[in-house]
Amino acid sequence: MMDEISDLERDKQTSRPADKQIGPEQVLSWSPGLPVSLSGRGWLKWLLIGIVIAYVAVLILAPLGALVAGAFSGGLGAIATALNEPDVLSAFWRTLLIAVIVVLVHTICGTAVAWVLVRQNFRGRRILNGLIDLPFAVSPVVAGYMLILLFGRTGVLAPLLAALGIQVAFALPGMIIATLFVTLPFMVRELMPILHAFGVEQEQAAATMGASGWQTFWHVTFPALRWGFIYGLTLTFARALGEFGAVLVIGGSVQGRTETATLYIFRALNDRQYVGAYSAALVLGLISLILVIGADLLRGKEH
């Protein structure tokens, strides 16, 4: 009988560690035979767990392991040599530069967008709110192509850019804009629910006591948003590091000029420089992984 008790009951017991023995109230709460529910059958439980673990192992862990093995096939020295090439280093620096600029812009503009969408009411707010998620769904190739149509040689803004002497397409500015587009939702979507939950009472109280708008934001709103900020920034940064399709289209992948880390991996793969491609992919994957896991841990600490 005890073995038949569902995990539900076990959860209840462990959540009340003080009385592990079955006390009178628990006897009242489970009349005999009742909790043999869905999760109750031992074999079913282990079957379902087994299916999920097998699925995750085949789908995610096996490819991950293969990449690690592939990168290390030539030994640690080969990885170091492959990554120490000047064009690889410059590609990684370019990626880092783009990601840092993107994070800075989204810190300011993304926060402003989140704040305006939550706190202000104006015509078209609902539509804008729906559009924020669009970059999640739009193909990165299409995102890059939109910018080509705007900033390219025959683009809508070409005459203006020529007059100003600025090159956007096939240059760093275009790649930054492309990365801004694909990472737009992260910061906004991270901050909006927090702003919403935080409410306006404290902001109003601060304003009643004579605080200016900026003071209110800095001393009242910002502290409440802090963890959301950190999490949103990390996700934005990780996503910016890994962006590929949009920067390929708008940047053109010119070696030594507009080649980022992902674009280098793609070129190395096409040129059959496998150790270089695998090592760079491993490094890029690891950096993103550490960032996201770090953010997850921070979030765990907050709750």
Work out how close the CB of 152 gets to another protein at its nearest, in angstroms, rounded to a whole number: 9
* 119 contributes a contact to another protein by CB under 8 A: yes
CB 275 within 8 A of CB 74: yes
Beta strands in the chain (DSSP E): none
Alpha-carbon distance 104 to 35, whole Å? 53
Question: Which of 264, 300, 259 lies closest to 280, judged by CA?
Answer: 264
Binding of residue 64 to another protein (CB under 8 A):
yes
- Identify the residue whose tokens are 């950190």: 230
Between 135 and 174, how does the x/- string for binding to another protein read (CB under 8 A)?
Answer: xxxxxxxxx-xxxxxx-----x------------------
Asked if residue 298 binds another protein (CB under 8 A), the reply is no
Nearer to another protein, 161 or 281 (CB): 281
Among the residue ranges 82-90, 166-174, 225-233, 241-249, the one whose residues contact another protein (CB under 8 A): 241-249
Binding footprint of another protein, residue count (CB under 8 A): 104
Q: Is residue 74 within the footprint of another protein (CB under 8 A)?
A: no
> From residue 76 to residue 115, what is the string marking binding to another protein with x (rule CB under 8 A)?
--------------------------------xx--xx-x
Neighbours of 112 (CB within 10 A): 11
Looking at beta carbons only, is 53 or 162 nearer to another protein? 53
Among 4, 16, 22, 63, binds another protein (CB under 8 A): 63
Name the residue among 11, 212, 198, 58 with its Cα closest to residue 119. 198
- We find the least distance from the C-beta atom of residue 136 to another protein, in angstroms, to be 7
Q: Which is nearer to another protein, 85 or 274 (CB)?
A: 274
Q: Which residues contact 184 (CB under 8 A, 6 or more apart)?
A: 106, 110, 132, 135
Asked if 75 touches another protein (CB under 8 A), the answer is: no
Q: Between helices 62-72 and 274-302, what is the axis angle to 10°?
A: 130
Judged by beta carbon, residue 84 or residue 154, the one nearer another protein is: 154
Task: Give the C-alpha distances (Å, rounded to integers) separating 103 from 42, 72, 97, 98, 179.
Answer: 48, 32, 10, 9, 10
